[in-house]
Structure 1
């Protein structure tokens, strides 16, 4: 192993750069010694240059962004993965209709505090900050929600879509922005409204995924399933590859019998909708498989306006894009898709029943939030926002009270809330706005 330099060694630019090079070369011989690798990895902070393993800035690269410490050499070893900045890209433009009446068009679930005093967006941002080498996030959202995003995430860069076009164009906008000055960061693309209960497991999965992304692979996270869910897509694991698996295939939401077979096989994971890849690799693959989409996104980005950390995308060119998801546009097409299993208490909070499943229930298996009085009631989720809610003699129900609407449904039928919202929207009821 490489020894640390003597304390009295001159700290000029050449010696600092030489130490950076020596450390990186040592890592190539020490891939199996994880504690050593962690001590020797060079820190990377987006937009703030590089430092050697002892915290000193490399003089030869004081003014660079996304460039390795050793001049003229780009390192691609596993040990160098953390020298590349990791930029969280948070998708925060959804409406979350399945959590009505708390989630509305003007204030969807990512801006509500459901599992902690912080909103789901704030939880997502804070969780991303814990990743080694993480930089300031990029948040992709809509014009209607931009003010709320800015209020809840003041340090983020905002990309404002004039219309929603699904996740592939949103990720492409972030990738184009992050590579505009010649950098090639690793992007961690994730929705703003997911819950992760086990932070250590989350960070361990990220540590396994990032070296794959640094090597040019496109990584998705597959949730270790706990039940034969029919509301999620699935990922079949292929051959193992360095703490992960090649993706054998993506499959659509199955029926109950097929989902049960998937679980029994042990080869399938839930599709989380979270991804890690180098910005340039995502753009390469999008250009290869959906060139018209990439060209249109590039045009919309170039014609947009930028000011004070906010990028407003051009309406006319962006509206002409045929939207698609990252899964369909890229991940199902590429030969370099890798899946990392994630077992971290994940939930996409797709319904009130899902919130009951992950929540802290009392001795009667209830979750009671707000001014609630429950008598002879069990297995229920009861939430009061503005007044007393009293309930007696019911089991397995969801009751959510807001100032202008009250939802009452069976917990087993919580997915049908979306159908209720569709009816209300067709009737142009203000309670959904």
Structure 2
């Protein structure tokens, strides 16, 4: 039976979910959709057997400020990763793939398949996700570098898009990648019918991705190999060598490999996916009351409609509002229109400029 090694990327800071998401306690370590944190949800959905394949123990890649809390959460879940790979500094997703490939080849051999996935995404239909993985595994075993294409349900401007090419059985070749388009272009993609949202989830053979990275981003491959060779390993924790990793270019896997390789493939995935990239996404996927509100925490609503209200502790009262996001934490309050949730990063940047690192 096919063995797939999940590699969970958990190093991000989730700035668009400020004020809850902070550098040392980012969104993936919060329970935002269910009673489990997002990293707990992610590891749980790639654990055990899924019919056509088995998941090996996960590897979780994160930074040192997040390690202790992530470890405690996964211990509480009763599912411990084989390794916590600690990055000395952020270097985007291509280096994660390079380190994962080296580590998986060392542990499982050249033929092992790697599922590279973010820790901060919500997937409602786990069974459909496993079905998509089974299709992708067939292509990955043949040398393809597979991405998962989410069936779009609107002209979303916050996601990248993938255009499918020729049929490959359970998937397609990739004809083109497009970064976040304007609304008119996104609507054109939707009307065309050949485009998917780019979820940033990948499946590939360990030896296949090593070969492609040596061709298309050799500096990344070399630096990551050195960082792993000089890493300090103790009690499932692999701390990458700082000097070697710092020399690695900061680049995404999409740019470094997917947009250059001739082996790119896409498998359609209708899985109830959300990247939970902003507060508005939590309203969209949340369970709504009769007035269209989503509430988490100690909240009282009067004549409120189509709003998302979150409190991490104190009582929050909301009267006579519509289409708002209100988030109250111990030291900060955010109020924004749901359609402007993507602009929260502007507040974060202003706090940086003002030196308010205590709020970040």
Q: Same fold (TM over 0.5)?
A: yes
Out of 172, 179, 186, which is 2:113 matched to?
186
Q: How does 1:70-219 map to 2 (within 5 A)?
A: 82=2, 85-130=3-48, 131=50, 132-154=53-75, 155-156=80-81, 157-181=83-107, 183-184=109-110, 185-219=112-146
Out of 216, 223, 231, which is 1:304 matched to?
231
Task: Please give the per-residue CA displacement for 1:182-215, whole angstroms capped at 9, x wherever unaligned.
Answer: 6131000000000000112111111111111111
Equivalent residues of 1:87, 1:134 under 8 A apart = yes
Matching residue of 2:246: 319
Task: Please give the per-residue CA displacement for 1:127-183, whole angstroms capped at 9, x wherever unaligned.
Answer: 011543101101111111111122122411111110111101111111101112561
By relative contact order (CA 8 Å, sep 6+), the higher-ranking structure is 2
Instruction: Tell me the matched-pair count.
Output: 351
Deviation at 1:431, TM superposition (A): 4.5
Out of 319, 339, 342, which is 1:392 matched to?
319
Return structure 1 stretches of 4+ with deviation > 4 angstroms: none
In 2, distance between residues paired with 1:406 and 1:344?
33
Matching residue of 1:335: 262
Equivalent residues of 2:326, 2:335 under 8 A apart = yes
Equivalent residues of 2:98, 2:220 under 8 A apart = no
Matching residue of 1:21: none
Matching residue of 2:150: 223
| Structure 2: 5+ residue stretches without partners | none
In 2, distance between residues paired with 1:105 and 1:354?
20
Give the TM-score, by structure 1 length: 0.80
Deviation at 1:299, TM superposition (A): 1.1
| Structure 1: 5+ residue stretches without partners | 1-41, 43-81
Task: Please give the per-residue CA displacement for 1:57-82, whole angstroms capped at 9, x wherever unaligned.
Answer: xxxxxxxxxxxxxxxxxxxxxxxxx2
Equivalent residues of 1:300, 1:313 under 8 A apart = yes
Give the TM-score, by structure 2 length: 0.95
Equivalent residues of 2:301, 2:317 under 8 A apart = yes
In 1, distance between residues paired with 2:38 and 2:172?
30
SS at 1:133 equivalent: strand
In 1, distance between residues paired with 2:312 and 2:255?
39
SS at 1:179 equivalent: helix
What RMSD, in angstroms, separates the aligned Cα atoms of the two structures? 1.1
Relative distance call for 1:390 and 1:283 in structure 2 (3 A) is: same
Deviation at 1:432, TM superposition (A): 2.7
Equivalent residues of 2:5, 2:114 under 8 A apart = yes
Q: How does 1:242-253 map to 2 (within 5 A)?
A: 242-253=169-180
Deviation at 1:430, TM superposition (A): 4.1
Structure with more of its chain in strand, by fraction: 2
Equivalent residues of 1:105, 1:432 under 8 A apart = no
